[in-house]
Structure 1
Amino acid sequence: MRQRLAELEADRERALRHVSHELKTPLTALKEGVSLLREEVPGPLEEAQREVVDILQHNVRGLQEQIESLLTLNAAAFEARRLQLAPVKPRKLLAGVVQRRELHSQARQLKVVVEASEQAVTLDAEKMAVVLDNLLSNAIDFSPDNGEIRLVVTRADGLCRFECIDQGPGIAEEDRQRIFDPFVQGQRVAPAPRQGSGVGLSIVRELVRAMGGRVYLVPQESGAHFCVEIPDEQ
């Protein structure tokens, strides 16, 4: 039964990769065609025609992002099955993630506070870095200018908890049950324009599950509070 399920999952992944790549070819042609129209290569555009071309260009970009996100999510699901566990110091791990997002946070005048010890925990550092990067990027996008984001690591009851807490608008109650589903953007809007099509939290869930843990949203009145729990193998 387990082997059959693995075969079905492999078939699903192959089909998704095939469909995604097959879609990219005509999409590239469509993108190039719209670009030629936008540059008026076939001839001058009237104002109404230019508006239609702008709409086409916007939708083509959106479709391209969705296809690329599907491929990214599929790759994450594949990589999740290949763990490389090693002792890692949480503070050092978080410091690296914060540094990579430094320009992103500075552009919004955000303060990122790290609360973690130097005591090592056994995990897949590369995958956990991807998890934390997605959570931090999300927090930066939704935080108000001059706000604060807290990254906290605690250990208790045989678990290591990584928490990301921001001061943004939080997650609407009707979105909380599906916030980790692919392409769910949520109803509350980020204060600044943001990129992405809504697979970041799905990737987080895939990778956390692969490490034998869970990720969940902590209910609170304002701001988003995500908690990742993984087994603490000391």
Structure 2
Amino acid sequence: MRSRKLLLHARRTVTRDGIKIGNRTYVSHRIREFKNRRTGIRGQGRRWPVYCNPYEPGRVWLYDHTVEKDPARSPWVPFDFKYQHLIRDAWTQYLWEKAADLVSDLVSDLVGREGSEERPSPGCAARSAHGCPSASSPRTTPTEAAGSSSAWPSRPPHTPPAGQRPTEQHKHPGASWTWPFTRTLPSTPPPRPAASNEPCSTCLPTPPQPVSSRLSGTA
């Protein structure tokens, strides 16, 4: 029993949750006896001496000096790790520190990865779902669209059926219609037929008729 005083010790206050040492909480069925209780030692207040074995950190010992002279009672009060039932293998203070460092590194990597990746806003997600371009997508100017053959595919001229008046779609074959009924005219007009240097038959001058034919017609 006296060899326990050679272990590492610290002074801790017993609360309703137990004793906290090294980011661990230790509990006992005798918590109520020492909860917020003064030690009676000048300058110590409510801090009781707690001894811990770094090779067996699953249990710590609180030393109650008030019963040292009572042979019927032991001054050593055991406190067990609160989550010891979840640990099946033996562990030490060294393994605890290594596990804490590993968890800290994993959390730092996750935080750095989330910070480097851009999260789309709800508005961008909605626009992407409807097929609308987002702010990060490259935009095509009208000049670039006009020079690109794939941006404005050629469409055959629209001819209204017989007896039907020509609509805007017939007047502007390259126009597109989007919600809410917004018309978008093409940047380049539809191709026109190439001009020919040969005059058409209607444009040729009428040759002069002979005098005899004209006299015979008047007679």
- TM tier relative to shorter chain: under 0.3
Q: TM-score, normalised by structure 2?
A: 0.22
Structure number with greater Rg is 2
TM-score (structure 1 length as normaliser): 0.21
Normalized per residue, the structure richer in helix is 1
